[in-house]
Structure 1
Amino acid sequence: MAEPAVHLNTLVIKPTGELRGTDILLRPVQDTDTATLDRIVREPAVAAWWSPPDDYADMLAITHSGKVIGAIQFSEETDPEFRHAGIDIFLTTSHHGQGLGTDAVRTLAHWLIHERGHHRLTIDPAAANTAAIASYRKVGFKPVGIMRAYGRDYRTGGWADGLLMDLLADELT
């Protein structure tokens, strides 16, 4: 097993290989993916919810039919009293509404629960991102509550509310 990258109380251990969903494949981001991911994260419908990351190294590329269509990442809390994992995702606009994001989240959630042993997962979309919220509900995530002025609203430059959602292992659909 590779040495994990440690960030405060989080532990990131990427899957050693690929994770296959129903219609997508998750794999570690390669250097050749960076330009595509930069383009995707700057699409207006994606940039409304995401800012370009400094580095894609801790992400997994989401591929469909052999092409990179987005990225997904996770973090793991290592404190045994609060052990859980969180997920974030972005997908190219041309593949929105096709169930591919749902497939990617479900695939990663399955790995985090069954391979990494997490009993609880979280995800925190902007409260106004109704499409993302609907997708996460299909996986089994449930709303926990609104986090006021939680994240930067890239459309206005102000602060936006976030919706904290969680999923318990036996709720994964």
Structure 2
Amino acid sequence: MNLTAKRIFLRPIDVTDAHVLFEQTQDETLRYLTGTTATFSIEQIEQHILSIQADPSRFDFAICLNSGEVIGECSILDIEAELKQAGFRISMRALPWTGQGYGTEAIACIIRFCFEELRLHQLELEVFSHNERAIASYKKVGFDIVETIPDAVSYEGRSFDEIIMRKCSPLYA
């Protein structure tokens, strides 16, 4: 199952993508933007991919340029079928892939998939207050801020707020 947009497509993530996820975890700017403090080995990432592939409460995708190059990854997670809601997260492979609208295209694909295929009523995400570009991208595709948790994360001695954002299906808003 591939989800398509103008310049990108999303395909299920595979263990062969572990090097991309590993690369993301090594980029200090991306670690800062996502609040990542843990370190991972490539073997741990491979095992993670294998475990999520077997998890029916989530969908994990590689974000690919139309050429096939992987430029990021995103996940629909904690799908609650009865409540018709899920969580969402996205991360680009490296800083040069940000700020060009690829993430926004990927998010639009996820929204269509969640609301049209999975028939979910809402999608929710968390983002840290210092990740202003991500917040702008989420707002661009219709996410609204529903809660701010002050000083929720500490990164290298600085505290940041966690912002909870939600998008509701237009059919159920």
Q: TM-score, normalised by structure 2?
A: 0.78
- Other-structure match for 2:113: 111
Take 2:99 and 2:84, find their aligned partners in 1: how far apart are those partners? 32
- Other-structure match for 2:97: 95
Count of residue pairs brought into register by the alignment:
152
Structure 2 spans left out of the alignment, 5+ residues: 53-59
Structure 1 spans left out of the alignment, 5+ residues: 1-16
Give, as a single letter, the amino acid of the residue that structure 2 aligns with 1:115. E
Give, as a single letter, the amino acid of the residue that structure 1 aligns with 2:160. A
1:78-157 to 2 correspondences below 5 Å? 78=80, 80=82, 82-91=83-92, 92-150=94-152, 152-153=153-154, 155-156=155-156
Take 1:25 and 1:33, find their aligned partners in 2: how far apart are those partners? 15
Report the CA distance shift for 1:61/1:79 in structure 2 as closer, same or farther (over 3 A): closer
Report the CA distance shift for 1:149/1:113 in structure 2 as closer, same or farther (over 3 A): same
1:41 touches 1:90 (CA, 8 Å); kept in 2?
A: no
Q: CA deviation at 1:164?
A: 0.7
SS of residue matched to 1:39: helix
> How far does the alpha carbon of each residue in 1:64-112 deviate from its partner, in whole angstroms, 9 at most, with x for none?
13111111011144263x4311110000211110000011111011101
1:141 touches 1:167 (CA, 8 Å); kept in 2?
A: yes
Choose which of 24, 46, 60 in structure 1 pairs with 2:30: 46
Take 1:56 and 1:94, find their aligned partners in 2: how far apart are those partners? 24
Structure 1 or 2: more helix by fraction: 2
- Other-structure match for 2:168: 168
Report the CA distance shift for 1:44/1:119 in structure 2 as closer, same or farther (over 3 A): same
Give, as a single letter, the amino acid of the residue that structure 2 aligns with 1:141. F
Calculate percent identity across the aligned residue pairs. Answer: 27
Q: TM-score, normalised by structure 1?
A: 0.78
2:84 touches 2:119 (CA, 8 Å); kept in 1?
A: no
- Other-structure match for 2:17: 33
Report the more deviating stretch, 102-111 or 23-32: 23-32
